[in-house]
């Protein structure tokens, strides 16, 4: 049953931000009474939905849930209180909730009220699926993934930036899937100026808009950028040091402008920006930008994962490097997964 709970949680991953995707099963006499997953945008929780579906049948039943039920109050009381009111006699919990509002408090409360509590079954599945939640909560900054498409000689563009695509259409399609399981996309004004991307999710016939975060120190983003065309459909947050007529125009357009001081190196403080992003309840971001920005993120230890698409194309020494001053293989990375998209190779790395 706990594996089924994990399966349904995985199916909905990417739709419950900023909350983790949690699966819940309630069974009685070896039959499933109800099942549920965390609702869109995180509420209501999986346990609350499953209990509502089960109704009176929950009394004397067993619950299987992938993360510790919440202890903090909500509209109908905490999930722990709702479980107690329902008459659930036994519960299997994969992993404790690291949130200090709950952390093992619900487990202890359920035990004190004579519910049989089992903790730790398939806990690694919970950690693996919701790693953004566990990491962002501990670091107080968003879980950060960098997506890069590079040539065989580790370039991201020709010297004149006129290269449209380096990776093939199968790699690009997977790139859209990565967007679809991210809470927001982070980019730079330089990327917008050079590439003029939409940064939407284009899977099948749908075009989905998710929040966009732009690092733009001098507020150089063109007002006719494609990214601003659909401002009514998405949230756009711009971090800048400039407060001028353009910032007023962007605010009137619907952008959120956050002003930052520049440091002694005449740059924005990326660590402070990432703390601010987290305070905006954004705990998972996909970075789509250039090699200089990728290098800066690595220097500031702000990268958790790298999604690398490598083609057979050779650009040459005049091309724009994916990483300044180093080769990818020189980074402290651990391979999570590798696959091929026709002639392209895909690598998913954890940054150590």
222 to 89, 218, 250, 290: CA distances (angstroms): 60, 12, 10, 18
> Does the pLDDT of residue 163 top 80, yes or no?
no
pLDDT in tens, 37-65: 999 878 899 999 999 999 999 999 999 99
**Confidence (pLDDT) at 118:** 98
**Confidence (pLDDT) at 91:** 98
Phi and psi dihedrals of 326, rounded to 5? -145, 165
Give the catalytic positions in this structure.
Answer: 47
- Nearest CA to 48 out of 90, 10, 97, 86 is that of 86
d(CA 221, CA 19): 32
> Does the pLDDT of residue 204 top 90, yes or no?
no
What mean pLDDT is predicted for residues 174-180? Answer: 96
Tokens representing 122? 């398939």
**Confidence (pLDDT) at 57:** 97
How does the average pLDDT of the chain come out, rounded? 94
d(CA 35, CA 18): 21
> Does the pLDDT of residue 74 top 70, yes or no?
no
| Mode of pairing for the β-strands spanning 143-150 and 284-287 | parallel
More confident residue, 218 or 161: 218
pLDDT in tens, 216-274: 999 999 999 999 988 888 899 999 999 999 999 999 999 999 999 999 889 999 999 99
> Percent of the chain, pLDDT > 90?
85
pLDDT in tens, 104-121: 999 999 999 999 999 999
pLDDT in tens, 294-316: 999 999 999 999 999 999 999 99
d(CA 102, CA 110): 12
- Nearest CA to 216 out of 162, 264, 255, 254 is that of 255
- Nearest CA to 68 out of 115, 30, 7 is that of 115
> Does the pLDDT of residue 99 top 70, yes or no?
yes
**Confidence (pLDDT) at 72:** 83
**Confidence (pLDDT) at 65:** 98
Q: Considering the entire predicted model, what is its pTM?
A: 0.93
């Amino acid at each position: 049953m706990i594996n089924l709970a994990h399966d349904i949680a995985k199916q909905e991953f990417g739709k419950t931000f900023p909350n983790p995707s949690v699966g819940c099963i309630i069974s009685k006499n070896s039959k499933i009474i109800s099942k549920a997953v965390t609702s869109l945008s995180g509420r209501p929780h999986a346990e609350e939905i499953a209990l509502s579906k089960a109704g009176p049948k929950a009394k004397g039943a067993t619950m299987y849930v992938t993360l510790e039920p919440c202890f903090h109050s909500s509209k109908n009381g905490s999930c722990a209180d709702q479980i107690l009111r329902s008459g659930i006699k036994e519960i299997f919990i994969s992993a404790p909730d690291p949130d200090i509002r709950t952390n093992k408090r619900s487990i202890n409360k359920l035990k004190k009220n004579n519910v049989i509590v089992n903790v730790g079954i398939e806990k690694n599945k919970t950690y693996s699926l919701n790693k953004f939640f566990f990491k962002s909560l501990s670091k107080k900054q968003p879980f950060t993934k960098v997506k890069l498409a590079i040539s065989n000689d580790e370039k991201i563009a020709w010297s004149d930036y006129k290269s449209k695509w380096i990776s093939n259409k199968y790699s690009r399609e997977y790139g859209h899937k990565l967007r679809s399981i991210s809470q927001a996309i982070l980019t730079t004004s330089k990327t917008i100026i050079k590439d003029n991307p939409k940064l939407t999710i284009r899977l099948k016939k749908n075009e989905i808009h998710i929040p966009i975060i732009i690092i733009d120190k001098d507020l150089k983003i063109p007002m006719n950028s494609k990214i601003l065309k659909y401002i009514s459909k998405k949230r756009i947050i711009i971090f800048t040091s400039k407060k001028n007529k353009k910032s007023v125009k962007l605010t009137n357009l619907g952008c959120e402008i956050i002003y930052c001081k520049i440091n002694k190196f005449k740059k924005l403080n990326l660590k402070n920006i990432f703390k601010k992003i987290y305070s905006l309840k954004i705990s998972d971001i996909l970075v789509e930008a250039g090699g200089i920005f990728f290098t800066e993120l690595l220097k500031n230890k702000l990268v958790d994962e790298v999604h690398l698409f490598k083609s057979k194309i050779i650009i040459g020494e005049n091309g724009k490097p994916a990483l300044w001053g180093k080769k990818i293989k020189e980074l402290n990375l651990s391979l999570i997964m590798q696959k091929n998209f026709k002639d392209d190779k895909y690598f998913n790395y954890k940054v150590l």
